[in-house]
Chain A
Amino acid sequence: MALLEVNNLAIQFGGLRAVDDFDLTIEKGELYGLIGPNGAGKTTVFNLLTGEYKPNEGIIKLDGTNITGKSPIEINKAGIARTFQNIRLFRQLTVLDNVKVGLHNRYHYSTAASILRLPSYYKVEKEMNEKAYELLKVFSLDRDADTTLASNLPYGAQRKLEIARAMATGPKLLLLDEPAAGMNPNETQELMDTISLIRREFGMTILLIEHDMKLVSGICEKLTVLNFGRILTQGATQEVLTNPEVIRAYLGDD
């Protein structure tokens, strides 16, 4: 059974069908790319998958469970985590705390325990710290993580922290919205290494939106090309990228 199954997904804003007749199947462990020209509806697909928008039509199934129309919180709990095109970190929290917010629903103690500093507070906080540092190490963000504010990290590190925070929620599927946007070639290379690392370490299934073709052709196994809210083509990366229709969509008709 596929990890993510999307059938006939559609959403309408006023008279505009931003996404229409969208199908997608992602197998466990796959690294899948969603590409297309600006305004094709890629981020809208992400927002539908994560519950920011409710679809007008269609079904989304994660690991066999129907999650269509659920709230972002429920969908995160069901196992989808995401990053954002314009970085959305908790800017005034430390790097460590950003990841610990990601761990929120996996570790529990009561409000009373936190105010009264009961033993459960110390025990669970310690576990959370260990888990958070474990994750931060994978992304090489563990240095001074408890004193550095997220807003003071360099740009590339902020993108990585956002991925780390998403990973902290323990997802089955990770959605990355233009992770390489605004990065220089060195940072992009480092990001590609990080993504490969996540797959190796955690066996994570990833769906990403990206414009950087070097990154897409370098790491994605399968692609779906979106144009004007509809699927232009989907399949193995090399086949898709050499498809004349795709080239036309990107470069325009001549």
Chain B
Amino acid sequence: MVTLIENLINGLSMGSIYAIIAIGYTMVYGIAKMLNFAHGDIIMVGSYAAFILISTMGLPVPAGILASVVICLCLGILIEKIAYKPLRNAGSPLAVLITAIGVSYFLQNGAMLVFGSNTKSFTSVIPAQIQTLQIGPFQVKGIAVVSILTSLVLVGILQVFINRTRPGQAMLACSQDRAAASLMGISVNNTITLTFAIGSAMAAIAGVLMCSYSPALTPTTGAMPGIKAFTAAVFGGIGSIPGAMVGGLVLGIIEQLSKYYISQQVSDAIVFGVLIVILLVKPTGLFGKVIQEKV
């Protein structure tokens, strides 16, 4: 029983990291209507930035995290402006998808050149005295608690931002009908840029948390979590922020439980298998809207 609960908490914490990444995925999809395959690599850039700033240059942890967030935010805006914006009216969603893949290659190989392909050992941003916590009978990693709290806080802020502020409302409007939003005087370009900025900033935070959780850092660190978070976003119904949150958490728990109770090797297969079953039962994900084509 104790192990089960400890596993659930570990799953929940990995899940909340997935959730943070998935929210970025889902926001960009909801507003720019594109699958940003490079999103996972922004996580990697954020982790490297934090690693260099904190471990090598000795910046204090909060300043290092903040700087890495700012770096990723700028990177996200830059990528959007240079690579995605020229193709916004290309007429085929595949064109921008392939470009996103190009950006992903670029970031991975750029990191390979700058940082080398050898694995860097990330130092956890969690202070040593709370590396492991004893809560009642349960022994929990400090980073697990921090991850869960961080994701809750971020989702809270995001909900307030979207529902209570003008730029947030503009994002909501663009996600529902870009043309109509534009007619109402909302700048679609600025809104899309803002979305990329927010998504990338969240990816940086996810990167720091992820590398504090498992410290091996390589240029391809972000790829698989990115794909899994994308899966989580689809699982929850792509375009839906609560969906991405729930999808991320569920995915983290399934992954942890199958790693512990079934097999370390096939846990990915199980995670993807559950996704497929969910989609077959509910073809637009847990919180996705069914769009009936009008005849």
Q: Which A residues have a C-beta under 8 Å from some C-beta of B? A: 43, 47, 52, 84
Contact = CB atoms under 8 A, between A and B. Distances in A.
A47 B293 CA distance: 13
B1 interface: no
4 nearest CB pairs, A to B: A52-B295, A47-B295, A84-B295, A43-B295
B291 to A, nearest CB: 15
Nearest to B295: A52
Contacts of A84: 295
A52 B295 CA distance: 8
Contacts of B295: 43, 47, 52, 84
4 contacts: A43-B295, A47-B295, A52-B295, A84-B295
A37 to B, nearest CB: 19
Interface of B: 295
A141 B295 CA distance: 26
B239 to A, nearest CB: 23
A175 to B, nearest CB: 12
A43 B294 CA distance: 11
Nearest to A82: B295
A85 B140 CA distance: 62
B168 to A, nearest CB: 30
B94 to A, nearest CB: 15
Contacts of A47: 295
A251 B295 CA distance: 27
Nearest to A50: B295
Nearest to A43: B295
B290 to A, nearest CB: 14
A51 to B, nearest CB: 11
A47 B295 CA distance: 8
A52 B294 CA distance: 10
A43 B295 CA distance: 8
A138 B136 CA distance: 85
Nearest to B293: A52
Nearest to A85: B295
A84 B293 CA distance: 13
A181 to B, nearest CB: 15
A84 B295 CA distance: 8
Nearest to A53: B295
A191 B295 CA distance: 23
B262 to A, nearest CB: 41
Contacts of A52: 295
B129 to A, nearest CB: 58
A72 to B, nearest CB: 10
B34 to A, nearest CB: 23
Nearest to A84: B295
A216 to B, nearest CB: 22
Contacts of A43: 295
B58 to A, nearest CB: 60
A52 B292 CA distance: 11
A11 to B, nearest CB: 13
A80 B295 CA distance: 16
A235 B295 CA distance: 28
A52 B293 CA distance: 11
A136 B295 CA distance: 26
A47 B292 CA distance: 14
Nearest to A88: B295
A47 B294 CA distance: 10
B10 to A, nearest CB: 44
B178 to A, nearest CB: 20
A93 to B, nearest CB: 18
